[in-house]
Structure 1
Amino acid sequence: MLQKKKGLASFFMATLIVTLIINIIIAWVVRSASKEIDYGTFLTMIQNKQIESVKIEANRLLITPKVNENSSASDKKIYYTGALNDPQLVERLHTAGVKFSTSVKDIQSPIVTFILSWILPFAMFYFLGSFIMKSLGKKMGGGGVMSFGKSNAKVYIEKKTGVTFNDVAGQEEAKESLNEIVDFLHKPSKYTDIGAKLPKGALLVGPPGTGKTLLAKAVAGEANVPFFSLSGSDFVEMFVGVGASRVRDLFQQAEKNAPCIVFIDEIDAIGKSRDSKLGGNDEREQTLNQLLAEMDGFDSSKAVVILAATNRPEILDKALLRPGRFDRRVIVDKPDLKGREEILKVHGKNVKLDSRVNLGEIALATAGAAGADLANMVNEAALRAVRMGRDVVRQDDLFEAVETIIAGKEKKDRIMTEEEKSLVAFHEVGHALAAALQKQTQPVHKITIIPRTMGALGYTMQMPEKEKFLVSKDELIEQIIVLLAGRAAEEVIFNKATTGASNDIERATGLARQMVTMYGMSNKFGMMGLESVQNRYLDGRPVQTCSTETSTEVDREVLQIINSCYEKAVSLLKDNREALCKISSHLLDKETIMGDEFMEILNSI
């Protein structure tokens, strides 16, 4: 309250100073626009016929001189002189041909003059300044004129979030960890009797789209306590010290509303590791320091829980991660097969599904998809059903939605030449044959040569029979052979190489390099780790941990693996050239064939 009063006083003084400056400027402009002369000079000007007109007022005469093209700027000023009791003035003016008039208005009251000169301008500037500051405050995330340094956390109650743990699927371990916090907030005595303390903070870590924010809202819905939600970037402003002030204000609000939950999304915006390099961000570091101090300072017995979310835990400051600040790290990873099926069921409740829909098959086909991806797929399937004129979502709608998310929509208006279509058909059947003729590869689900909006002219879709978490060296080698079999088919049939295998080559090279540098499957380096993963939950970019000479040897071994796999792919297709040609001809006629149809043709040869 004291800070608010000081802010209002400062704003009041600023408005008063602006009004004073405006009055001084107006007085100076008026004074500079006119010049005082003595009465004798005025009479001389009348005799010399230098006056255009005269306005006779109660206490002065306003004189407008005659001007011409050669007149200087000073000659264009309005002159004034005192109004003497001159009975011959009117006769002199009339004789000289000067226009004259008199003011019949009463002299203005000093009170009216004061109101017009001071009170009215002050009120205008005050309300105009208040409006501008409020507008700026809203744009900058503040709440009003003096909102700098005030927390702009949104308060959610259970009814407003509308999310509980029943709305979150595929994250059973994360829900179990957070459910303990909810239970503590509901029944603290059950834990305090045994000597347990409420965790001060829990850090939700995982890839984008896995449901970190949704889980935090579910905690609020389950706990039925005030829920303060804001992003890490909300603390950072252009003014040094504002973020730290907002942190203080946030924790003051939280303590007043205890028990409660504070959720900071994307905490890496303020929680980056501090360093001594020049050019550091003083505002961000001060904000982080204040957050560390506040998390140490508040009493956990007041039942204030700090939840934070990030997908870049490796860049967070170590002081932020130590026990006593964030006591618990909750991993919110991409769901497994069962988790994906549960997520599809949750989102499937909101759409009309056909009774024959098998969500387990969709879950199998979406390995590596996050919760947000699955929600998007269900929505795309519903949109497709509407486009097709149906009132329920069928299995083919869901599979088409999966393909749309992965490869883009069908691009039926792209016209390819017969040679190009033939090349694409043999390329895709080459992938499918290599997958079908090997023992440890995933079964073929669909082959198509219809172009997609993401650039693919065709693709072969494989679907696993079950989800696997470990992959052997032989399986990786067979995956590389399948990837290179498209180019091998082009070489076997047309004796040429095209640009269509670029993505296959990129993926095959990545697998071969991981075998050598990360999986310990190298004949030369054995189990020596040569690369480590950075930003595991984002792009998973590998970073070399070896010398330049070793890196050169790694490239040689990767090349040897790729060449060996390519030779096997060529040999495999040459031995099954008849099947390659027959299936490719069938694909050219139908443009799309499913896995069962593909296997029937292959088994009949």
Structure 2
Amino acid sequence: MSNRNTEENDDKKKQYIVVYAIMAFLILYVFSITKNFMTTQEVSYNEFLNMIENKEVESVIISSSEIQILKKEDSTNKVKGKMLYTGNVNDPNLVSILTESGVEFKAEPMKNNYIIDFIFDWVIMPIIFFFIIRFFMGKVGRKMGGSPMMGLGKSNAKIYKENDIKITFDDVAGQDEAKESLKEIIDYLNNASKYTSIGAKLPKGALLVGPPGTGKTLLAKAVAGEANVPFLSISGSNFVEMFAGMGAAKVRDLFQEAEKNAPCIIFIDEVDSIGKSRDSQIQTNDEREQTLNQLLTQMDGFDSTKAIVVLAATNRPEILDKALLRPGRFDRRVIVDRPDLKGRIDILKVHSKGVKLGDDVNLEEIAKSTPGAVGADLANIVNEAALRAVKHGREFVMQEDLREAVEVIIAGKEKKDRILSPMEKRIVAFHEVGHALVAALLENTDPVHKITIVPRTMGALGYTMQLPEEEKYLVSKEELTNQIMVMLGGRSAEEEVFNLLSTGASNDIERATKTARSMVTIYGMTDKFDMMALESVQNRYLDGRAVRECSDETSTLIDEEILKIIRTCHESTKKLLRENRDLLDKISEYLLEKETIFGSEFMEFVYDKYPELRDRKNKKVKDANQVIEI
């Protein structure tokens, strides 16, 4: 935060202290006035005379309207006992009675200003305190947002001055295309005259779109760091207020603050919080729509020559209002997607800069083992590896720490306290080897990296890890079919060996069904529907959920076609394992003994029976090397 923001926060604290002090004084004042009412008790005149006769009275104070009585039992502890009083009935014998009984008494001087005291205590003083509190509340409100309502109209955006941002493009790896798209904005902020002289106008806004964890916020800060301009950061949810019009007031304040700091960058994170489409027929939040309308107006209204750029980030671009995305507002859409292999290697290098690495560390291997991982995942892997190294008493991170960190992220930590019965352990071993053996015997499948029957905290009793040899962007029908067969290999092995159906295949069945459904409804890989689109993907950058777009009759046919694919793959998988039952038994017994085996050990069993598979692998490696040389 800048020094200016720090000073403003100190001023706010001082104002709050003054307000709280005045309120505390007012409470004490009211308490002091009402104390007498809470600590006194009225008695009748007859009771008063009886107390005198019984020698219970220590002293009395006689006034024109009442007699205050202090009992002997209360003279040593006035706080616990209540002060008694009775009305003055102008008894002519009272003085003689008190004198004879030895009671100390005195008369209180007559006061003629009861009404004045009452008006001062209960009317004038409360009014004075009310205006004092209102004065200071209004002053604090103006400090916080130009409103006596404690700054509800203030944007409260975090303002980072030029020297506050140390992040540059060197700290953002794996997003070369996104950085290239933003370099023009940086150049404009630094050399605006070069563009205005030729009549060019800077795009007013750029929308950063991508899955969570890909570095959209980091990239926006890097743009400000490269341009060396102030950076105003705020989340879209901060604009949503309970009071009508406050969100729009925050938008106005944000752009007024930006004009004071121009040239600068405004960054609105999670812009979908206020930018949802207004075309929905469902009743929407009017306050959010007013905020969106104000944002649209401000983006149209601010002077482009002042070099103010609005960056926004979202992972749900499909729900944004069309008016927000038209030219003149968010002119550019910058895709911040999941990094490829080279990008993951670069990201791991960035996050491991401050980590002591051993000589055996190979970041490329870790990058290959994490397809689909985003920057946040890779940063977490490096941190988990460092924590594991400390746990084992080492001063540097080894390759085994990084490998174990990958498995912790994927499947959780080893659950050593979960003890399986011998029968359950055999079922799990054959199940996992079933997956691995099908993957090894089929073409166009990812090679097996590791097989283990050690339970993990995320619920897996064991797992088979496959690592792709290369990045793939197109997948054929044959490859998808083989993937389904690999997923069904575990259940098929259980059926062939133990003739039972267990619950261990639930996740395999779910994934296999999802893949088969995509083949039918999205990829057009069946003869029945040809290339008809039956589903569309929603929330592409989140869960990738598919929404069906067909009639109920067609949905029934889709389910039949999915079942046909699953059934065919299931039968083919069982046949493949039946033909290689000797390998299945041999490898499973070895896994039961070792609990964990790696891909090289596993493949030696397969190569002993099928030497041609080794030749096929060598040929694939040779072809890949020739492609690299070309």
TM-score for the superposition, normalised by structure 1 = 0.84
Name structure 2 gaps, 5 residues minimum.
1-14, 72-82, 610-630
Q: Cα distance, 1:356 vs. partner?
A: 2.6
Q: Tell me the equivalent position of 1:188.
A: 192
Structure 2 match to 1:445:
449
User: In the aligned structure 1, how far is the partner of 2:493 from the partner of 2:282?
Assistant: 56
Partner of residue 62, structure 1: 67
> Structure 1 stretch 122-131 or stretch 493-502: which is displaced more?
122-131
Cα offset for 1:146?
3.0
Match of 2:251 among 247, 251, 257: 247
- Call closer, same or farther: CA 1:61–1:395 in 2, change over 3 Å: closer
Give the secondary structure class of the aligned counterpart of 1:284: helix
1:233 aligned to 2:237?
yes
Counterpart in the other structure of 1:308: 312
Tell me if 1:364 matches 2:368.
yes
Cα shift readout 1:93-139 (whole Å, capped 9, x = no counterpart)? 547x695622679989999999987898778778888999999999x
Q: Distance in 1 between matches of 2:145 and 2:225?
A: 25
SS at match of 1:412: coil
Conserved 8 A contact 2:207-2:313 = yes
TM-superposed deviation, 1:161: 2.8
**8 Å contact kept, 1:261–1:307:** yes
Using a 3 Å threshold, how does the CA distance of structure 1 residues 262 and 82 change in structure 2: closer, same or farther?
Answer: farther
Q: CA deviation at 1:439?
A: 1.1
Q: CA shift at 1:190, angstroms?
A: 2.1
Q: Specify which of 416, 423, 427 is matched with residue 420 of structure 2.
A: 416
CA distances 1:191-216 after superposition (whole Å, capped 9, x unpaired): 22332111111111111000011011
Label 1:103 to 1:297 Cα distance change in 2 as closer, same or farther (>3 A): farther
Q: Which residue of 1 aligns with 2:614?
A: none
Select which of 348, 354, 359 maps to 1:344. Answer: 348
Deviation of the 1:160 alpha carbon: 2.5
What is the rounded CA distance, in whole Å, between the counterparts of 1:236 and 1:133 in structure 2?
23
Partner of 2:621: none
Cα distance in 2, alignment partners of residues 60 and 141 from structure 1: 55
In 1: Cα distance, 2:567 partner to 2:359 partner? 49
Q: Tell me which residue corresponds to 1:5.
A: none
CA distance in 1, matches of 2:437, 2:45: 113
Find the counterpart in structure 2 of residue 475 from structure 1: 479
Q: How many residues align?
A: 575
**CA spacing shift, 1:577–1:241, aligned 2, 3 Å:** same
Q: Please name the residue that 1:463 is paired with.
A: 467
Summarize deviations over 1:36-68 as a string: whole Å, max 9, x none: xxxxx999x989x999885234x65536699xx
Greater alpha carbon shift after TM alignment, 119-128 vs 557-566? 119-128
Q: Is 1:528 matched up with 2:546?
A: no
Question: What does the per-residue CA deviation read over 1:396-439, in whole Å, with 9 as the maximum and x for residues that have no partner?
Answer: 21111111100111112211111111111111111111111111
* Aligned counterpart for 1:324 among listed residues 306, 325, 328: 328
Secondary structure (helix, strand or coil) at the match of 2:400 reads: helix
The reply on whether 1:376 has 2:392 as its aligned counterpart is no
Cα distance change, pair 25–347 in 1 and its aligned pair in 2 (3 A): closer
Structure 2 match to 1:73: none
1:13-52 alignment to 2 at 5 Å? none
What secondary structure, in the 3-state scheme, does the structure 2 residue paired with 1:450 have?
Answer: coil
Name 1:224's counterpart in structure 2. Answer: 228
Q: Is the 8 A contact 1:34 1:80 kept in 2?
A: no
Q: Which amino acid aligns with 1:570?
A: K
Distance in 2, matches of 1:521 and 1:422, equals 37
Paired residue secondary structure (1:327): strand
What residue number does 1:598 align with?
602
Q: Is the 8 A contact 2:211 2:338 kept in 1?
A: yes
**What SS class does the counterpart of residue 507 from structure 2 fall into?**
helix
Structure 2 partner of 1:38:
none
8 Å CA contact 2:137, 2:150 repeated in 1: no
Q: Distance in 2 between matches of 1:143 and 1:245?
A: 10
Report the equivalent of 1:3: none
C-alpha deviation, 1:274, in angstroms: 2.1
Partner of 2:3: none
Superposition pairs of residues 64-463 of structure 1, within 5 angstroms: 78=85, 90-91=95-96, 94=99, 101-102=105-106, 146-275=150-279, 279-463=283-467
User: Could you say if the C-alpha distance between residues 578 and 105 of structure 1 is closer, same or farther in structure 2, counting changes exceeding 3 Å?
Assistant: farther
Alpha-carbon separation, structure 2, partners of 1:445 and 1:457: 18
The superposition leaves residues 441-486 of structure 1 with CA deviations (integer Å, 9 ceiling, x where unpaired) of 0111111111111011111111111111000000000110111111
- Judge conservation of contact 2:239–2:248 (CA < 8 Å) in 1: yes
- Tell me how large the CA RMSD over aligned residues is: 4.2
> Which of 469-478 and 158-167 deviates more?
158-167
Determine the C-alpha separation between the residues in 1 that align with 2:296 and 2:96: 89
Is 1:487 aligned to residue 487 of structure 2? Answer: no
The alignment partner of 2:523 has SS state of: coil
Distance in 2 of aligned mates of 1:397 and 1:576: 36
Distance in 1 between residues matched to 2:270 and 2:476, nearest whole Å: 37
Q: 120-129 or 307-316, which moves further after superposition?
A: 120-129
- Residue pair 2:145, 2:152 contacting (<8 A) in 1 also: no
Which moves more between the two structures, 553-562 or 381-390?
381-390
Paired residue for 2:613? none
**Alpha-carbon displacement from aligned partner over 1:542-561 (angstroms, at most 9, x marks no partner):** 10000111001000000000
1:25 CA drift (Å)? 13
The one of 535, 549, 555 equivalent to 2:553 is 549
Q: 1:597 to 1:284 in 2, by over 3 A?
A: same
Contact 1:481 1:569 in 2 (8 A): yes
Q: Which runs of 5+ in 1 are unaligned?
A: 1-7, 36-40, 67-75
**Deviations 1:242-294 (CA, angstroms, capped at 9, x unpaired):** 11111111111111111011111111111112257575322212211111111
1:353 is matched by which residue type in structure 2?
Answer: L
Give SS of 2:200's match. coil
Worse overlay, 351-360 or 241-250: 351-360
Q: Describe the shift of the 1:471–1:122 C-alpha distance in structure 2 as closer, same or farther (beyond 3 A).
A: same
Distance 1:292 1:208 in 2: 25
Deviations 1:67-107 (A, max 9, x none): xxxxxxxxx995556999x9x87347547x69562267998
CA pair 438-63 structure 1, distance change in 2 beyond 3 A: closer
Q: Which amino acid aligns with 1:175?
A: K
Q: How has the CA–CA distance of structure 1 residues 89 and 272 changed in structure 2, closer, same or farther, with 3 Å as cutoff?
A: same
Cα separation, 2, equivalents of 1:212 and 1:144? 36
Residue 509 of structure 1 pairs with residue 507 of structure 2: no
Instruction: Answer whether contact 2:141 2:147 (CA < 8 A) is retained.
Output: no
Tell me the amino acid that sits aligned with residue 55 of structure 1.
Answer: I
State the alpha-carbon separation in 2 of the partners of residues 24 and 461 from structure 1.
73
Q: Secondary structure, in 3 states, of the residue corresponding to 1:202?
A: strand
Compared with structure 1, are the counterparts of its residues 602 and 276 closer, same or farther at alpha carbon in structure 2 (3 Å cutoff)? closer
Q: Percent identity?
A: 62
Structure 1 residue 568: Cα displacement:
0.7
